[in-house]
Amino acid sequence: MHRKLFLAALATAAFALCGGAAAQGFPSARPVTLVSPFPAGSGSDLAARAVAPGLSDALGQSVVVENRAGAGGSIGAQYVAKSKPDGYTLFLASLSFSVLPSLMELGFDPARDFEAVTLMGEQSMAFVVPPSLPANSMAELVALAKARPGKLNYASAGIGSIGHLTGELLKNERALDIVHVPFKGTPEAMTAIMTDDVQMGLIAMPTVEPQIKAGKVKALGVTGRKRYPGLPDVPTLAEAGFPSMSDSVWYAVLAPAGTPPEVIARLNAAFRQALTQPDTVQRLDRSAKTEAAFSTPQEATAYVRTQLVKWNGVASKAGLKPEHAK
């Protein structure tokens, strides 16, 4: 028995020493891969590519952005979750990641199979209505919906999208009879609101900001903790009295569970350096309409887990059930 305990302790010590040595040599002459789970040109892809040059400079090593799209982002997530936990393969999670367990059966656990590195940024969204709709505030919209039960529709980029679930929050919290109309993507949802085929929706800023400024839709509120700089006269949804709807599209960098703490700390320091560089901040804002942000690993872990609880609770109330990933 004593011999078995000694051998087990020896194996544990050897593993720890190997992990420590690997962490001390990180990164070596090998690229770091940042996986975006959505196609080229998506918000996730643009955000990843905006940060990669600064991260490369901070690490002193090349950083490659790799798109592994499909199944609502779960293909890329599973790829990273099953990767070697050595810091060389990272996942760019976003708000959509937090609702995956309610949409499909997963081959990984979003809460247990990752180590958070840092939050990376936030992209605002705007809650908009057609110009002809007789509502110029969220309060007026709620009053109109109550006066017209079952007559107003809300658009989204698909079932389980943030637009869908935010609409469900509005519907449930204000006891409204409004109808969800899912579209194939954000452009189609945007067009439907502009033409008054659908009366409201939450749309990401890269798509909606030009239409607001052109007068093709009215913005009643924006997500985020502060007003969006490009639309300073539009209140936040929290200011408008709808704090539960104020979550922006967030980005967080995750590593496979089991990545050595020293490697997580090195990555966190590198991201912090990159995300405070003016060039990185400008690229994120210009190409992805995203405000740079950073955090400790512990803060990122707490935030992502809170989002998982929140949005899967909303999805459950909406009657969404996991299906096989396609």
DSSP state of 317: H
Contacts of 18 (CB under 8 A, 6+ apart): none
Return the pLDDT at 8.
Answer: 42
Contacts of 178 (CB under 8 A, 6+ apart): 145, 150, 152, 153, 154, 167, 170, 171, 200
For 150-199, the pLDDT digits (tens) are: 999 999 999 999 999 999 999 999 999 999 999 988 999 999 999 999 99
Task: Find residue 221's DSSP bridge partners.
Answer: 127
For residues 208 and 262, membership in a common domain is answered with no
Domain end among 199, 218, 245 = 245
For residues 185 and 114, membership in a common domain is answered with no
Predicted confidence band of residue 16 (pLDDT cuts 50, 70, 90): very low
Overall average pLDDT of the 66-78 stretch: 95
Does position 2 have pLDDT exceeding 60, yes or no? no
Three-class SS of residue 66? strand
Return the pLDDT at 29.
Answer: 79
> What tokens does 250 get?
């967030």
For residues 103 and 238, membership in a common domain is answered with no
∠196-237-148 over CA atoms, to 5°?
40
Domain end among 245, 263, 292 = 245
CA distances from 127 to 9, 154, 169, 190 (A): 57, 10, 13, 11
For residues 61 and 210, membership in a common domain is answered with no
Predicted confidence band of residue 323 (pLDDT cuts 50, 70, 90): confident
DSSP state of 248: P
For residues 95 and 131, membership in a common domain is answered with no
For 100-153, the pLDDT digits (tens) are: 999 999 999 999 999 999 999 999 999 999 999 999 999 999 999 999 999 999
Instruction: Give the CATH number for residue 17.
Output: 3.40.190.150
Overall average pLDDT of the 13-20 stretch: 45
For residues 109 and 12, membership in a common domain is answered with yes
Determine the structural domain holding residue 157 and report its residue range. Answer: 125-245
Predicted confidence band of residue 23 (pLDDT cuts 50, 70, 90): low
Overall average pLDDT of the 217-237 stretch: 97
Predicted confidence band of residue 25 (pLDDT cuts 50, 70, 90): confident
Domain end among 192, 225, 245 = 245
Q: Mean pLDDT for the chain? A: 92
Name the pairing type of β-strands 200-204 and 153-156: parallel
For residues 145 and 201, membership in a common domain is answered with yes
Question: Quick one: 4 exposed, middle or buried, by C-beta within 10 A (0-12, 13-18, 19+)?
Answer: exposed
Three-class SS of residue 114? strand
Q: Are 144 and 135 in contact (CB under 8 A)?
A: yes
Q: Are 120 and 95 in contact (CB under 8 A)?
A: no
For residues 153 and 288, membership in a common domain is answered with no
- Which percentage of the chain shows pLDDT scores above 70? 92
Name the pairing type of β-strands 114-123 and 249-256: antiparallel
Return the pLDDT at 286.
Answer: 94
- Which percentage of the chain shows pLDDT scores above 90? 87
For 243-295, the pLDDT digits (tens) are: 999 999 999 999 999 999 999 999 999 999 999 999 999 999 999 999 999 99
* Residue that the structure tokens 């959509």 belong to: 96
State the total domains in the chain. 2
Within 13 Å, how many C-alpha atoms sit on residue 7's CB side? Answer: 4
